A and B are shown apart, each in its own frame.
Chain A
Amino acid sequence: MRRVAWILVVLLAALPARAQTVDPADPLGSVMWTTVRDAVFPGAAMVFDDHVQVFSPPVVEDTMNVPVSVLVNGLPDVEEIVLLVDHNPIFKALAFFPVQAAPAFETVIKVQEATPIRAAARTSDGVWHVGGLRVDAAGGGCTVASVAASGGDWDRLNEVSGTAWRRPDGGQRLRFQVVHPMDTGLVDGIPPFFIERLSVATPEGQELARLELFEPVSENPVFTIDLRGHAGSVVIGGADTDANQIAARIGMASTLFGLLEASR
């Protein structure tokens, strides 16, 4: 039910898009882009830039669970990366502040059919560098989109599962999942209820990375972050829109992150 209403809202939101103009510089030629741009970056300097890479499976089967990764390669001093979905009623999925992490992350989001997914990286000079790709959400055919896995039982609300892997470069790969319904508030009778902020810090309280989340992030989201120059325990902190706190400590990495490096 949650899903049906989400799609309805998405469809309604997409209607006025026909009146919009396409930015000729937009490599994805999206009718929604100028609207997204003006809503998210009013008056800011912005360039399309191949240094900002977004990866997601080109054909999406489960619109409630779309893995998306962002990698900013070769841009100095990236202070913030926002993830945007042109054809969602809420464009912004999250903002990632790398602080001491690599300018790269993966998470899982909700989308609707055939939408550009973008990442915009803000460098220290204030310029937003935008990259992205288009996904087709009509794929598969044999899958029924997932519904609340927990069936509304949130005994484990805000519980964290996570592991750190030691990276050959001296940093560490951090992957963690937070138990949360991430309700959009777009469904009658279900108010918005989602994780608003997450932080990764040293046990001494030094911030290593920070995330601001919005409604399009999936239920029970999983995050992947690479910390630079820190190999040791980290503390995950945060809060949701009802001010429920998130607090967990992930032990020092023991196993080596590999396979991908080895295979490339």
Chain B
Amino acid sequence: MRALLSLVFLVWTATAAHAADLSYALTPRLIAPGTYIVEGRREHFSRDNGGNIVNTAFIVTAAGVVIIDTGPSALYGRELRAAIGQVTPLPVVKVVNTHHHPDHFLGNQAFADIGVAASATTAGIIARDGQSLTENLYRLNGDWMRGTEPQAPTGRLEGGVEEIGGHRLRWLLLAGHTAADVALFDQTTGVLFTADLVFKDRAPTTPDADIAAWLAALDVLEALPFRILVPGHGNEATDAAPIAQTRAWLGWLDSTLGAAAAQGLSRTEAMQLPIPADFSALALARDEFQRSVVHLYPTLEAGALQRVVGPK
């Protein structure tokens, strides 16, 4: 009993000490002139990773810094801003949230003095669901979230080309991963920031997905003459392989679940279908497949169940 108590005490003190000096130790990595990726882990949200499972990125232009997504917490946002300060003395001039998932916008508080821009749809969803999404991440990430509050973007991001400090930035307003997904193609450096429209070596998430729209968005991205691709999750690539990988997963998901629903499988049976070996490189494939059944199957099975009326 005494041993148990001291073990409990040890765990408690270790946790308390841990909470006092949490740090994501963000290390921006240069991938193209003036262009940095801050790469997250290929994991689920957890108290261990504090939600650092997402890529954020920034471009240091002659006129100042452009930031793509702000991370999963206020702490992340502050650390991101501090890390940028280590790279350049130039001010932050533009901050963008690519879509409404909480790992992409909950660092917004650190940029309240500058303001954050997003598409009108994304800003609206964050304003509506931001509180619930934030509560989710408190549950999942624990102490790392301390002080984090949702801040809806106030600036409107428009599609098209914008010149900032010598960089010609082409903003693409797409959809499919969510109702509104922003991608950025820096025509000056050839870097394409896809946000969560592309996952690399990690199974895509689908809680708000429209597969047909998503596949169409991938076609738009693949047609761009990029040299480097920065996905929303996973490291950067110099080819279109992550687009092909994301497309293959989504296509398989769609056809497999469609066939399962048409052939009468229940939801839990669908969750246990085999995943082809081609996807062995994707982290969290089984977990995400099961989540996708929950997200996508109700609509598919409704299509397979015929409306019937009283006995005749």
Contact = CB atoms under 8 A, between A and B. Distances in A.
Interface of A: 55-59, 61-62, 65, 67-69, 106, 108, 113, 138-145, 159-163, 165, 173, 175-177, 203, 222, 224, 235-236, 247-251, 255-260, 263
Given A142-B205, A257-B263, A61 B305 contact: no
B137 to A, nearest CB: 6
Interface in B240-271: 259-260, 262-269, 271
B309 A248 contact: yes
Contact of B268 (A68, A160, A175): A68
Contacts of A59: 44, 287, 290-291
Interface secondary structure of B, over-half rule? helix
A259 B294 contact: no
A243 to B, nearest CB: 16
Interface in B103-158: 103, 129, 132-133, 136-137, 139-140
Nearest to B263: A259
7 contacts: A57-B290, A141-B136, A160-B308, A161-B306, A162-B305, A163-B264, A260-B263
B121 to A, nearest CB: 15
A142 B208 contact: yes
Given A140-B291, A142-B208, A259 B265 contact: yes
B304 A163 contact: yes
B181 interface: no
Nearest to B128: A144
Contacts of B274: 263
Interface residues of B, number: 47
B193 to A, nearest CB: 19
A161 B307 contact: yes
Contact of B308 (A161, A222, A224): A161
Contacts of A159: 307, 309
Contact of B129 (A62, A106, A144, A250): A144
Contact of A142 (B101, B266, B273): B101
Contacts of A250: 306, 308
B201 interface: no
A81 to B, nearest CB: 15
Contact of A249 (B139, B263, B266, B312): B312
Nearest to B104: A142
A249 B308 CA distance: 6
B137 A141 contact: yes
Contacts of B263: 165, 255-260
A159 B306 CA distance: 11
Given A141-B137, A161-B306, A235-B311, A55 B294 contact: no
A222 B207 contact: no
Contacts of B311: 203, 235, 247-249
Contacts of A62: 294
A11 B294 CA distance: 25
B301 interface: yes
